Amino acid sequence: MENWHDQLAKRYASILKTRRDDPQLSDVKKKISPQRKVEINLGIDFGTSYTKVSYRIIGKEIVGFIPFSKNSNECECTMHPSKLFLDETGRLFFQYKNEMNLARALEYFKMQLAGMSFGYVYENKDLATPVPDLLCAFYLAHVIRFSQKKVIELENLNGASIRWSGNLGIPIGYYESESRARFDGVLKVAVTASMRDLFPSVISLKELDAIYIKCTQDAAPETADFFLTSELEAEVRGLTADSTTLNGVYAVFDIGGGTIDGAVFEYKRADGKPYINFLTALIAPLGFEACVDRIKNSFSVSSVADALRNGKCNIPLPDEKIIQQVHRHVSLVIVIAKQKTQYDWKSRMEKLPVYLCGGGRHSKWHFSTINKTFSSNSHSCAGIPPYECRELQFASKEKIKQNGLVDIGRYLVAYGLSFAKGTFPDPIGFPHQNPVLSYKKLDISTILDEKMCELYGELL
């Protein structure tokens, strides 16, 4: 006969076996295990005016967006202003509560990194590193570190072993330009500084410069898993990752605060994978805020902004020259792409899908001006079918946590950047693969009418 010690031991063994065999209990154990390994990819949409960050837990395909703060109604805000603050003593702040009284707001440093003179440019000849590089690295390092902490909190990942990776979006016009090397260097410093927590929230530019130089000399190993990705490639990912998208030619215009990025690409799905061939990729400083700044003259900035959003209203804006510049930019993107394909577009499609995206896509002035390019520049004579303007969306079958997303169209770049490098075949057709055509070899009279010849005079 068994004594009570043996009976208790058998009972305890039976309970343990039941728990091991119960799939629900087993799943709970896996979820709370502090030793589990997780791979997370960050998608950083470093915008001219606002920055958005997405995250994707690889394998589980959990997608969400980082809430940076809460507004007065306690609603999550998933956009962070792309600005820093500099006080009178030369100290740099990531966030500053009394910004109106004691500090100068530094903005548009992303555009300055690309060599564009836009907004107030702070100069300091005593620094070894250009100021835009320092500002961008400081800003991005804090954004990355904050995002990492927030993902751990949101997904209950305390104690997990996390492998971080990420994509930083840059305008496609800079993707193969001289500016790319600067963006790449800034990203490496930002990742190194965030992983090692090297940048305090308040720092002098001289101290920042010294740390920046050290980071360039001793980069963190994690920098190998962070990549530059063209914003337009990321922006169309919701379209190209969707298995219901038809093969064909698509145009897309990202209307941001400072620029309009335009591209035309051929899309084809083969063997279950999406393939993208960019035919053109051009950028112009004609974004919403840039246009407001250029045509405000005797009007207030707010009046011009309201007029553009609402389609002029009752304000007679002196915008004819800028309208022509937008028409020219749209035409360069689309007509050059047409000539590169060298087949009849009208026989393959009744209308050309033109996708508008970015924060400025709600500007009725921009929408109207882009849409009217077809008639104003006689694109029918160039063999181009009428435009069909649409808005881009997320991939239809994706399960995305959309808390705090007020305007989905503003998060398309961040969403596309959430896909880890290597998830899809790399796009082809960037400028070195699809050079601009030599129009001298073409019979101009059969392709462009007199107005188009005048528009593209410098290309002929």
pLDDT tens-digit series, residues 19-50: 455 554 444 444 445 557 999 999 999 988 88
Q: Which residues pair with 81 in a beta bridge?
A: 50
* The predicted structure's pLDDT at residue 144: 97
Question: Under 8 Å CB-to-CB from 264, ≥6 apart: which residues?
Answer: 249, 250, 251, 252, 278, 279, 280, 333, 334, 337
Angle at 383 between CA 379 and CA 384, to 5 degrees: 55
Q: What are phi and psi of 282, to 5 degrees?
A: -130, 155
Q: What per-residue confidence (pLDDT) applies to 426?
A: 83
Query: With contact defined as beta carbons under 8 Å apart, do 384 and 448 qualify?
Result: no
CATH H-level, domain 244-394+433-459: superfamily = ATPase, nucleotide binding domain (3.30.420.40)
Q: Which two tokens stand for residue 210?
A: 């010294």
| DSSP characters over 388-456 | EEEE----TT--B--TT-S-GGGGHHHHHHTSPTTSSPPPB--TTTSPPP-GGGS-HHHH--HHHHHHT
Residue 300: count of CB within 10 angstroms of its CB: 9
The CATH number of 37-230 is 3.30.420
Q: pLDDT at position 420, please?
A: 94
Q: Which helix (H) or strand (E) holds 254?
A: strand 248-255
Contact (Cβ atoms closer than 8 angstroms) between residue 67 and residue 151: no
| Within this chain, domains 37-230 and 244-394+433-459 share the same CATH topology | yes
Q: Which 8-state DSSP code applies to residue 384?
A: -
- φ, ψ at 286 (rounded to 5°): -125, 25
Kindly state the tokens that stand for 12: 């305890």
Q: How many CB atoms lie within 10 A of CB 160?
A: 15
Residue 112 DSSP SS3: helix
pLDDT digits (tens, 9 = 90+) for 92-109: 898 766 544 567 888 888
Q: How far apart, in Å, are the Cα atoms of 34 and each of 90, 94, 156, 263, 364?
A: 43, 32, 10, 46, 52
Which pLDDT does position 334 carry in this prediction? Answer: 94
DSSP H or E run through 352: strand 352-357
Nearest to 414 by CA among 166, 84, 209: 166
Q: Which two tokens stand for residue 353?
A: 């899908």
Task: Parse the chain into domains and list their residue ranges.
Answer: 37-230, 244-394+433-459
Low-confidence ranges of the chain (pLDDT < 70): 1-35, 70-76, 96-102, 117-121, 173, 176, 294-304, 306-308, 310-319, 396-397, 403-406, 430-460
User: Model pTM?
Assistant: 0.75
Query: Residue 151: which of 278, 60, 286 has the closest Cα?
Result: 60
Residues 74 and 69: their CA atoms lie apart, in Å, by 9
pLDDT score at 19: 47
- The amino acid present at 303, given as its one-letter code, is S
CB neighbour burial string for 19-35, b if at least 16 within 10 angstroms, e if fewer: eeeeeeeeeeeeeeeee
Q: How many residues does the chain have?
A: 460
Find out whether 109 and 84 touch, Cβ atoms under 8 Å.
yes
Query: What phi and psi values does residue 53 have, to the nearest 5 degrees?
Result: -130, 130
